[in-house]
Each structure stands twice: as C-alpha cells, then as structure tokens.
Amino acid sequence: MAGGKASARQKMINLMYLVFIAMMAMNMSKEVLSAFGLMDLKFAESNTVATEKNSALLADLETKAEEKKEEFAVPFNKATQVNAVSDKFYKYIGSLKADLLREGKYAVVPETGKLPFEAMDKTDILDEMWFTGDRLTKKGDEVMAAIAAYKNDIKEILGGDVKYNKAIERFEKRFSTADVETKDGISKGWLDYNFQGFPAIASYTKLTAMQNDVKMTEANMFNLFLGNSLDEAVSLKKYQAIVLADKSAFFAGEKFQGKVVLGKYANVTPTKLSVNGKEINIAEAIDSTGAAKLDFTVGNVGEQDIKGVFTFLEDGKPLEIPIVGNYVVVPRPNSATISADKMNVVYRGVTNPMTISFAGVPDNKVSASGAGLSKGSGTGKYNMVPTTGKEVTINVSAKLDDGSSASDRKTFRIKDIPKPSGQMAGKTGQFSLPRNNVEIGKVQAVLEDFDFDLPLKVTSFKFKVPGSPSVTCQGNRLNSQAKSALRKAKRGSDVQIFDIKSSSNGPRIKPAAPIIIQLSN
C-alpha cells in the first residue's frame, strides 16, 4: 500500500487509511475497556446484595441455634468460621485492587462517581508487581498462597463429613489454580494466564469477580448448613428411641422406673469434658457418633451420682451443658456363701466378731439388733456378747433406694466356753517329769482348739501323792505342804493335780481336766 512506486497522492491516501484504521482500533479498545468497567460495576453491586443476604442467612442460623441447640449449634459454629475466613480473604483481594489503583494513579471521577475505565489501559502494573520473567515475584507468590490458605481453611471447617463432598467439589472448581493450557497447546500458570498482559481495568474486574466468588461461597455454605440442618430437624427418620433409666441397677422384684425419649446423637466435638471433678481427654473419650466414653473406678456400695460438664464452643463463647446421672454399686461376688446349718454358734461371755451386710445396700442404710449385739469398727462389723439363754436372734433391716425396707433374721445357739485342760511344762493329760520340775513348775489351764484368744489364770488346785491325803494349793504353784508330800513320793509313782480352778476377765470357767505326772527320778 505504501510501496516505492506509488504517487504522492496515493501515499497520502494510504496514510489516511492507516490513521483511520488506528482510530477505529482505538475506539474499539475504549469500548472494550468501558465494557470491563461496566462488568466491574455489576459484580460490585452483586457483592453488596450478597453481603446483605449472607448476613440474613447467618442471623437466621444464629436464631435457630438459640432455639434448637442440638440441631443447629454445630452448623452455626461452622457458618461463623466460614464467615470469618471469607471476610479475611475478601478484604485481602480488596487490598490487591487498592494496590492496582495506587500504582496506576487511578481514582474515582467525581462527576461520574466511577473509575476512569477508558483510561485504565496500562498492562505493566500487575506485570511488574507479580511477575519476573517466567517466575512469580514475592508478591505473586503471596497472592497464590492467600488463595491456597482460603481453600484449606474452608475445607478444614467442613471436615470429613461425606454430606459436604459435593460442596467441596464445587468449591474446588470455583477456586481452582491449576495450570491452564492455551489454544496453542502451551501450558501457563493460573496467575500468568489470568492477569499477565491484561489492561488494568480487566485485572481489576477479575479481582472483583473473585470477591464475588467468595460471597457466593459464603451463600452456598450458609444454605448448605441451614438446609441440611432443617432436613435433620424435621425428619423423624433421623431420630432413635433412647431408654433412660432412673438408675443403672435394680433389685429383683423392684419396679423399673425410667422413660423413653426420641433423640439423636450429635457428632459434635466438645472443647472440654469433666466428670466427677476430673477432666477427661477429649481425643480418647469422644467416638465417631459424638458420644463420650466414661471410664472411672466406681464408688462404695450403694447409689452413686455422676456429675460433670460438657463444654462446647458456640458463637465464639464456651457453652456448658451439665452432665447428671447415677448408678448403683453392688458388692463384688468374690466369695461364696457357705454355712453349716447346725454350726450357727456363739459362745457365752466372750466377744464374738460378726460381719453383717445387705447385698446392694450401703452400710449406713443397714441396721442390726439382738441381745448382746453392738456395732464394731469397720464396714459391716459387729460384736456379739451373749449372756443368758440358749439362743439369740439377730434382726437385720435395710433401707432401699426406692424408700422401701427389707429385713431378715438369723438365730444362733449359745454355748458355754468348753472345759479347759490342766497343763504343766507345756504338757497336758498324763506325762513324765523330774521331781524337781514338778516342785517348781507352774500349773496352767488352757483352752485347746478354741477359736478365741481367752487367757486363763489358775486360782487354785489340789495335789495328791499316793498314800498321802490331797493338799489344796492356792495360786498356780505347789505350797510347802504339797512340796513335802512330793519329796516322800517314790520314784515312778504318779502324782495328780486336779480340781484346777481358773478365771478370765468375764465368763465363768469350768474346772480344768486333771493332769497325772509320773516322777522320773
């Protein structure tokens, strides 16, 4: 068109054509820039409306969480977290837009109240801020890191619940930053493909569109939490029949008391759990249904209380839910009850130790009575000291948890303390001793094979040497008259010690069996 053979006139015409084409291109460029500006205004208006609607959805969730904590506490908690991280990312994108306007020296035109769209044609602003050669600058890396952080925060809030899988898929697609393949088959980074080489207004509009994606994400999540929660709240298929007994143990024949309610397990992780004054490890105690496993040593026999606190996070503040329950402890069956029906015996005049209890009833609700019976030290310990008669009956009564009473009784035979045996030098019955040992020996009375430790003190006895009259001795040793008779006895003769009388601290003791001693010298 501008060849060397063209005339001056033709060259002028050709130059006019070039100017005309350039002017058309310039006008078209301004139209495109204006179009981007109008799109930005539309996105900005949409963001304002979305902000208002999202605030209403969040307020609706908060109201429902106050009215029905079990159904809406968790969704509202998640919604507040989504709102917080989304607001943070939304403001970060706003800071990128502010950087672009500052570096390009763009400002709102007072007459129109709008940005100068047609003048926002610079392409080097973000190019210099975000890119250096084939790599990203520190600011470019920051932008990509902020997008990745927002994605991670949202996914962490939703957790691994399968009902959120679809929402996570849509969210991942909306904020995908994977490399993009051009129509020429060239792979480019996401930030490079979307922002490098574009006019300032185009990049500004894309950032506003990204803010709109944040608002849409918030709206989708809020509706998801609200919709799923409503379905669970109104559908009876989500509930189970749960039996709540008034206590966890009952006696045979006792009426079962409790109630059946409709409820469901809330898969809510508490921030703290304490039972009976002891804090429980949340990581170990909470199962997949949200139930807390209790593992502690039970108290004494009888009805015991379970008291504790579940602490949850709601609206950024701790919410305490009291734990109230009870259980009944019965004695551990560590021994069999074996008794000889004919051997129910107590001995007169001595302290007979007894253990008295009522299965499943604490000691402070058991009372026992009987002639000579008194309470001892220790759980279920009593002392029986029978006096007169041949039998004694012990009556036992117990106060049960339901207010009723139970009673039982048992009769024991009263027996006297058995007759003791005479003893000298540790020997009883008939035995042999040197004459000198008999002279200086001590006469004793012992209760052989007797279950009670009852020491006896000999008070008197009689001594008999063959061919001589018997001698009565006071105390537990031979007197001078008995010793004189002993010296006259022949070697090998049998001397007798009989009518051995003794005493104890209380009961009357029968005379001890005699001993016969053969003199060995």
Quote the CA–CA distance of 382 and 355 in Å, as a whole number.
6
Q: What is the pLDDT of residues 456-477, one digit of tens each?
A: 999 999 999 998 999 999 999 9
Query: Residue 54, exposed/middle/buried by CB under 10 A (0-12, 13-18, 19+)?
Result: buried
CA atoms within 13 A on the CB side of 350: 21
State what percent of residues in the chain have pLDDT above 70. Answer: 80
CA distance 28 to 23: 9
What residues are paired with 313 via a beta bridge? 318
Strand order in the sheet with 366-369: 345-347, 405-415, 391-399, 366-369
Q: What CA–CA distance (Å, rounded) separates 288 from 295?
A: 17
pLDDT digits (tens, 9 = 90+) for 252-269: 656 666 676 656 666 566
**210 pLDDT more than 90:** yes
């007979």: which residue's tokens?
352
**pLDDT higher at 308 or 339:** 308
* Across 211-238, average pLDDT: 71
Task: Please write the tens of the pLDDT for every residue from 483-521.
Answer: 999 998 999 999 999 999 998 877 788 899 999 999 998
Average confidence (pLDDT) over 81-99 = 95
Amino acid at 103: E
What pLDDT is stored for residue 208 in this prediction?
A: 93
Q: Which of 128-132, 339-343, 416-420 has the lowest mean pLDDT?
A: 339-343
| Domains of the chain, residue spans | 17-236, 240-329, 341-415, 421-519
Token pair for residue 227?
């919709």
| Of 320 and 120, the one with more pLDDT | 120
Which residues of 81-167 form beta strands (DSSP E)? 131-132, 135-136
Mean pLDDT of the region 115-128? 89
Is 2.60.40.10 the CATH number for 341-415? yes
pLDDT digits (tens, 9 = 90+) for 18-71: 544 444 444 446 777 888 888 888 888 999 999 999 999 999 889 988 888 888
Question: Residue 514 and residue 497: Cα distance in Å, rounded?
Answer: 6
pLDDT tens figures, 151-192: 999 999 988 776 788 888 899 999 999 999 888 888 899 999
Task: Say whether pLDDT at 1 is over 60.
Answer: no
Q: What is the mean pLDDT of the chain?
A: 82
Q: What is the dihedral of CA 108, 110, 112, 116, to 10 degrees?
A: -30
Between the alpha carbon of residue 114 and those of residues 41, 109, 203, the distances in Å are: 9, 6, 16
pLDDT at 233: 42
